[in-house]
């Protein structure tokens, strides 16, 4: 019985310390880091992308498609509780025609996702439609990915 009591109290102390560390934010395991998933040809530049606390996007991409592309539009959808979305017209992409290996950005977009305090975490699905011309053949593609991180 003494053996069980000694180890029982030790386990309770470890649980209390663990819960305290978790509630103080020391065990977030990257919850506040900016991550992107799903982007294969058009890569989001995470160091220069994100959403402000009112939901306005600041997005920078790299054309990794291997050839020149022409952006034809896109959309942003909030995967959080707000469930907002907005369409991205082709004139919001600068430049609209992007050579392989070059950067482009989305500018002039109104708030697309729910607002949050700086440091709160957002989760947004981004879709970009683009065309690739190789010789006389033109093919349309869609790049979809998720950007998750803290509001700025």
Residue ranges covered by each domain of the chain: 1-30, 31-150
Q: What is the mean pLDDT of the chain?
A: 88
Full-model pTM: 0.77
At 112, the pLDDT band (50, 70, 90 cuts) reads: confident
At 31, the pLDDT band (50, 70, 90 cuts) reads: low
Q: Is the pLDDT of residue 59 over 90?
A: yes
Question: What mean pLDDT comes out for the span 93-112?
Answer: 91
Q: For 15-37, b where at least 16 C-beta lie within 10 A, e where not — what string?
A: eeeeeeeeeeeeeeeeeeebebe
Q: Poorest-confidence range of 18-22, 27-31, 106-110? A: 27-31
Question: What mean pLDDT comes out for the span 119-126?
Answer: 90
Q: How far apart are the first and last CA of the chain?
A: 55
CB 150 within 8 A of CB 34: yes
Question: What mean pLDDT comes out for the span 19-28?
Answer: 76
> 128 forms bridges with which residues in the sheet?
74, 143
Nearest to 150 by CA among 130, 125, 122: 122
Handedness of CA 27, 30, 33, 38 (dihedral sign): negative
- What pLDDT is attached to residue 103? 95
Q: Is the pLDDT of residue 23 over 70?
A: yes
**Architecture of the domain spanning 31-150:** Sandwich (2.60)
The radius of gyration of the chain's CA atoms, rounded to the nearest angstrom, is 22
């Amino acid at each position: 019985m003494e053996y069980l009591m000694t180890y029982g109290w030790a386990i309770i102390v470890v649980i209390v310390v663990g819960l305290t560390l978790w509630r103080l934010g020391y065990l977030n395991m990257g919850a506040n880091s900016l991550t992107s998933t799903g982007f294969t040809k058009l890569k989001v530049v995470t160091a220069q992308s994100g959403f402000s606390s009112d939901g306005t996007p600041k997005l920078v991409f790299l054309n990794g498609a291997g050839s020149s592309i022409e952006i034809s539009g896109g959309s942003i959808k909030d995967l959080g509780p707000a469930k907002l979305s907005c369409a991205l017209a082709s004139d919001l992409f600068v430049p609209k025609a992007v050579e392989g290996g070059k950067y482009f950005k989305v500018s002039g977009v109104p708030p697309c996702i729910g607002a949050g305090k700086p440091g709160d975490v957002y989760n947004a699905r981004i879709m970009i439609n683009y065309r690739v011309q190789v010789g006389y053949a033109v093919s349309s593609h869609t790049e979809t990915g998720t950007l998750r991180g803290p509001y700025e």
